[in-house]
Structure 1
Amino acid sequence: MDLSGLGMVGLLYDIDQIEIFKGPQSSVYGPNAMAGLISLKSTDPTDHFEMRTSTRFGSDNHYGGSSVMNVQFMKNMKLRLGGVNNYSDGFRENVTQSVTHTNKREESFSRMKLSYDPNNQLSILATLIYTKLENGYDAWAPDNNTDFKTYSNDKGEDSQRTYGYSLRANFEASENLSITSITSFTETDLVHAYDGDWADSSYWHDNHDFDPAVEGWAYEFYDKNERNRANLSQEIRLSMGSIILGGYFKHLIEQDEAKGYLFGGVATDAISHYDFQVTAGYAQYGLDLTSSLKLKANVRFENNSIIYDGSSQGFNDYWEKIFLPPIHFNIDHSMLGYRAALHYLKDEYTSFYGSVSQGYKSGGVNQQPYLSDISRPYEPEFIQNFEIGLKHATDKYRTQLSVFYGQRKDQQVSVSSQQVEGDPNSFLYYTGNAGSGTIQGFEWENMLNVSSNLSMDASLGYLKTWVDKFIYFASEGMETSGGDREAAMSPIITGSIRLNYSNDSGIFGSVRSSYKSGYFYSDSHNKKAEPYTLTNLALGKSFGKTTTTIWIRNAFNERFTTRGFYFGLIPPDYPDQLWKSYGDPRQIGVSMDYKF
């Protein structure tokens, strides 16, 4: 089921396997895996009864629960049900509205899996998911305070409802031939709305002397975007020993409706229709060159067809509502991905590998109604990647080291710009292309069993990126340059260390600290985030079928930023400055799990 581009809750509950694929994986997984992929596989139905449940309570008015049940109807039919529900206020105090839930997180997720094996050759697995997110959105303040106080008077919303279905059928035609069909469909309704000026009229009057009676207009902005996305995909795969052949088709239709207005200023309504079709074919071949040296190669060719239609309304000089010129784009892109890897098994403990690969990311069309025509489309991005590494594992410790270098072509960058001075709702975040760039570094992971009760995990990453200079249009007819520096949202150093303790009496605990160095917020300005370290603690005990855990997230109450925008907000001169959104402060809670 393709859920890329959607924030989802509950996906880590009742998970059977998590696979992390590093480096370009486009030849197998398509454009969503240009720089790697995390694959989550939920637990399939089993032939025995299982039932467990969990409840959670914590600060920030947090509460939640989850449960899973597995039953077998008959010898060849099994059912597994699971669900998750979470709520928290969102760590914000809205001073204007005198409430604490304007940034709330109210999320639920449910999943049903039904397996049916009519005979020894055919197996069928049907999956149904439903998710409902009714989140608020109130994360910014015009005074940049670190006390999590906000002043918005309009309702912010970040909601989502998704239905998803998939049907996977596998037919073992012979010992060396199997045919797999995977059909999936998802439909999602999303709403994103926010108070564009982040405050009410009283705040602007009391703190910045903005008087609507004197100015003749109220400094009030609001933006709302409603989106419907329907995604149908079909994949057919043939496995013939060491050869895999496959075909893939996807059809995504998205309908957007955006509304934004400025009292006494610019007003727009915009509707856009996005039709995206993907057709791809792929092949994979594995060969044992010797008993210890193996080769695996795969290739994928993909064609994307994009049709975009947009219409919008605005006001003329006489404040009459008029239709603006319609927008139509018809784009067709072809992309090639490949990967060839050698794997050498030195002995039962140590192996080495090397790979060369090309990944890609689809081009597309920016849908924001304020955007200039020249900035609206963007091209596919390609990366050629080279990687070498080693893995070593014994009963006591496990270590892995990889070194990589990648050359990016037509690099996609996230560009932020304010299209209309004095209108914060015209501040846009859109995608453009830089000429080229590079990415290089290493990743190291290690696990050590210190004793029968104590283990340690550690990781260290070094990432050096570069984006060549590029030109984009900050507003109509105004060229601005970016790049010639490191890529945005790419910290040079990341690391973590975790200690895990457990004993025979059922007591367990863990301490985990993670570090992230400073990084640029955006490809279109040079403001950087500060480095930070977060520490999480957990202590618990198992009592037969019950497990109780006390946990602390961000134990030292670190203030750290998650996003940073640079634009003019404060009237009357609207000087450009950096605006920050902060991650969650300390949270303390308790979880209780029971297995029937």
Structure 2
Amino acid sequence: MKPKLTLLSVALSSALFPAYADTQVEDIERITVKGEFNPVTVEKLSTSVSLLNEEELAKRNAIHLEDALNSVANVNFSSGASRAKFFQIRGVGLRSQFVDPINPSVGIVVDGINYSGLGAAANLFDIEQVEVYRGPQGTRFGSDALAGMIYMESATPTDYQSGQVVLGSGNYNSRQIGAAYSNGITDNSAVNISLNSNKSDGYIENTFLNRDDTNNIDELVGRAKVRVDATPDLTLGFVAHYIDIDNGYDAFSLDNNRTTLSDEPGVDQQKTNAYAFNANYTGWSRFNLYINASISDSDLVYGYDEDWSYVGIHEDGYSTTDYYSRNRDDASFEVRLSTNPSASYTNWTVGMYAQRRDVDLQRDFWNWDLWQAADFTSQYDTQNIAIYGQLAHPIGADVKVIAGLRVERNGGDYVDSNLIVEDLSDTMWGGKLAVEYQVSDLTMLYASLTRGYKAGGINGDALGKFKNSGLGNYQTVLADHISFEPETLLSAEFGVKGQSTSGDLALRFAAFYMKRDDMQLKSWINQGAAFTGYYDNATEGTNYGLEAELDYKLTKAISINTSLGWLDTEIDGFVTADGDDKTGREQAHAPGYQYSVGLNYNIREFFYLTLGVEGKDAFFFSDSHDQKSENINLINLKLAYDLGDVTVSAWARNLMDTDYAVRGFYFGNDPRDGYTSKTYTQLGEPLVYGLTLSYQF
């Protein structure tokens, strides 16, 4: 890191958060990060992380994770479905999944259950805290956290009766009904259960079918969590999730607006049953034992009207759809030992993690080469096993050194109906080396070097098309991309975290530089009406930037929350199937800046207002073409009347009804203009508003 940046950060820390050696520190709320090996407050964590608690989520009336992420610095998302399923942190992350198996760059974990690649499951009702880790988390989370991790925790069971009921209604015929209940079962056990239904007609009008619900939302999510204090030293936990998503998918328009002509609108469905068990034993004098095991079974159906229109608009009179039905079974087991903090000067953690994921795909589509309906099946079974360790050793009273290492063996077995059989095996490693300097009890400086990794994979769709003589010169391209190599990411980061003694001011700042080796990028072949996608390894990429979060309580009635992200990215050594060299260009879905400013004003004792402004720079939609979004600025508003147990709120997101894109493609699909190639975009949420009544007890 440059010396002037370090000196600036020290000066900033000293000015805002002096040591106050002779000043009594008031009782300040410390937020505990739950996704780490051991609980730690966010101020003492040498990683750039944003935390969204229930209060922050309620200010936005956020129902799904995509409703909240615009407030987090250097975090973006892509749609291409009814919900945002894929996320990008600091410009790194996948944007979609079609035929081939994928390895997410940004993982999602909910209550210890891995939902990486299943972002539609990120419903926020009764979620106690969302933690967004930026930068590689190789030691803690392994191959699903090349760019970062999103960790969500539902409400903790209470020994006393508590809960909430939420009723909401809004435009587009939106309605929400949610209920959560927590109570003690016996003297040493407690349960928390929740059920939430969210429905909407969606934001699309299908003029051909004369319907306004072809892109509807219909989601039901239930969660249960049990805590058992089996002995004074042994705590057991049980988790169960039920997810039933039956959303429509009719989002792309030939006219690039919210009006579609599809005669066979698609679907975006997910049905998941997931369970987890954990045990925490603290009865030994020198170390503690933690075990977590989980299983999940998900049935996924994703399909759409491929021509976005109806029979008769095309001269050839065709009508085609493309459907992907997947069954995904996950199982994981983790065991780790960690130091009892009261028994050792040096804190250490060692552990083992094993995961198995089996994915079966059935694709039903129109084969343009054969001009007939066709199907495709594949099976991809992966097994991961990892060992890891982390050591935190104090050097004097104020300095701590942290060193971590994780080694992971990944194996994959692939077979499909094109008689393609491939086996993959990779041994990868990640780690962390950090120095933390505690300037005072409330201020910390840190510098870290972290390494993340992501497994390679199989280009099954490309392999199947390789035998197609109609692809001409593209056959050579496909033959060279049977598989793709693992990607690694090395990140250097410097940060400052601090609070004032009064708790009125909090600042978190990070500067980072990341180098990506064998960067995995998506490329496309467009041959007439046939599309084939495959993953390729660019030589490298660079991503560097800044992140800052400031929370300031101006008066007893007024407070502000701000975040700012600045990002610069570049691709080096990537040539598309058409021979276009993208060296020197920015990476996809990596806006140059993002910002969020929230104002909270307690107008009267029971009446408050929240005003938020957020925005992001334009970004490239893809690494294989040069079409871009526009920069956006959105305004959110909420007025609430709080009577203690009952809160009535009126809210609006995207108050100015700004059109903005969350996904974009470039090709020809409109027979009315001779299939001229142009940019097609899926539009994000328009102006939405409503009333919400919540009762807490």
TM-score after normalising by structure 1: 0.91
Shift of 1:450: 0.9
C-alpha separation between the residues in 2 aligned to 1:447 and 1:140? 39
* Aligned residue identity for 1:544: G
Which residue number corresponds to residue 391 of structure 1?
Answer: 497
Asked if 1:295 corresponds to 2:401, the answer is yes
Q: Secondary structure at the match of 1:590?
A: strand
Asked if 1:473 corresponds to 2:577, the answer is yes
Query: Which residue among 638, 641, 650 is the counterpart of 1:538?
Result: 638
Asked if 1:188 corresponds to 2:298, the answer is yes
* Aligned residue identity for 1:311: S
Which residue number corresponds to residue 319 of structure 1?
Answer: none
C-alpha separation between the residues in 2 aligned to 1:106 and 1:135? 5
Of 168-177 and 293-302, deviating more is 168-177
Query: Which residue among 307, 321, 329 is the counterpart of 1:230?
Result: 329
Query: Which residue among 508, 518, 521 is the counterpart of 1:413?
Result: 521
Per the alignment, do residues 506 and 9 of structure 1 end up closer, same or farther by CA in structure 2, a change over 3 Å counting?
Answer: farther
Query: Which residue among 441, 459, 462 is the counterpart of 2:545?
Result: 441
Which residue number corresponds to residue 168 of structure 2?
Answer: 56
Shift of 1:341: 0.9
* Aligned residue identity for 1:469: G
Shift of 1:191: 0.3
C-alpha separation between the residues in 1 aligned to 2:494 and 2:533? 36
Which residue number corresponds to residue 179 of structure 1?
Answer: 289
Shift of 1:375: 3.2
Which residue number corresponds to residue 507 of structure 1?
Answer: 607
* Aligned residue identity for 1:192: Y
Asked if 1:248 corresponds to 2:341, the answer is no
Per the alignment, do residues 376 and 155 of structure 1 end up closer, same or farther by CA in structure 2, a change over 3 Å counting?
Answer: farther
Percent of aligned pairs sharing the same letter: 30
Retained in 2: the 8 A contact 1:417–1:524? no
Which ranges of structure 1 fall in alignment gaps of 5 or more residues? 205-209, 212-216, 313-325
Shift of 1:143: 2.0
* Aligned residue identity for 2:597: I
Retained in 2: the 8 A contact 1:221–1:262? no
Which residue number corresponds to residue 45 of structure 2?
Answer: none
* Aligned residue identity for 1:548: V
Retained in 2: the 8 A contact 1:8–1:131? no
C-alpha separation between the residues in 1 aligned to 2:431 and 2:521? 23
Retained in 2: the 8 A contact 1:9–1:108? no
* Aligned residue identity for 1:41: E
Which residue number corresponds to residue 563 of structure 1?
Answer: 663
Per the alignment, do residues 564 and 428 of structure 1 end up closer, same or farther by CA in structure 2, a change over 3 Å counting?
Answer: farther
* Aligned residue identity for 2:350: L
Asked if 1:403 corresponds to 2:496, the answer is no
Q: Cα deviations across residues 62-119 of structure 1 (Å, max 9, x unaligned)?
A: 0011111012121112111011110111100001111011100111110011122221
C-alpha separation between the residues in 2 aligned to 1:343 and 1:404? 16
C-alpha separation between the residues in 2 aligned to 1:193 and 1:410? 32
Equivalent residue runs for 1:141-180 within 5 Å: 141-144=253-256, 146=257, 148-180=258-290
Query: Which residue among 231, 237, 246 is the counterpart of 1:125?
Result: 237
C-alpha separation between the residues in 1 aligned to 2:270 and 2:421? 28
Which residue number corresponds to residue 579 of structure 1?
Answer: 680
Of 97-106 and 365-374, deviating more is 365-374
Shift of 1:573: 4.6
Q: Secondary structure at the match of 1:346?
A: strand
Q: Cα deviations across residues 222-261 of structure 1 (Å, max 9, x unaligned)?
A: 1111000000101111113411110011011000000111
Query: Which residue among 486, 506, 509 is the counterpart of 2:586?
Result: 486
C-alpha separation between the residues in 2 aligned to 1:302 and 1:21? 20
Q: Secondary structure at the match of 1:8?
A: helix
Equivalent residue runs for 1:26-105 within 5 Å: 26-105=138-217
Q: Cα deviations across residues 293-351 of structure 1 (Å, max 9, x unaligned)?
A: 11111110001001110114xxxxxxxxxxxxx11110111111010111111123422
Asked if 1:258 corresponds to 2:363, the answer is yes
Asked if 1:498 corresponds to 2:598, the answer is yes
C-alpha separation between the residues in 2 aligned to 1:435 and 1:40? 34
Per the alignment, do residues 363 and 227 of structure 1 end up closer, same or farther by CA in structure 2, a change over 3 Å counting?
Answer: same
Which residue number corresponds to residue 431 of structure 2?
Answer: 338
Equivalent residue runs for 1:360-371 within 5 Å: 360-368=453-461, 370=465
Retained in 2: the 8 A contact 1:521–1:529? yes
Shift of 1:370: 4.3
Retained in 1: the 8 A contact 2:398–2:437? yes
Which residue number corresponds to residue 315 of structure 1?
Answer: none
Q: Secondary structure at the match of 1:31?
A: helix
* Aligned residue identity for 1:410: D
Which residue number corresponds to residue 320 of structure 1?
Answer: none
* Aligned residue identity for 2:234: L
Shift of 1:121: 2.0
Per the alignment, do residues 63 and 177 of structure 1 end up closer, same or farther by CA in structure 2, a change over 3 Å counting?
Answer: same
Retained in 1: the 8 A contact 2:523–2:577? no
State the number of aligned residues. 562
The structure with the greater share of residues assigned to strand is 1
- Identify the structure with bigger relative contact order (alpha carbons < 8 Å, sequence gap 6+): 2
TM-score after normalising by structure 2: 0.78
Of 370-379 and 233-242, deviating more is 370-379
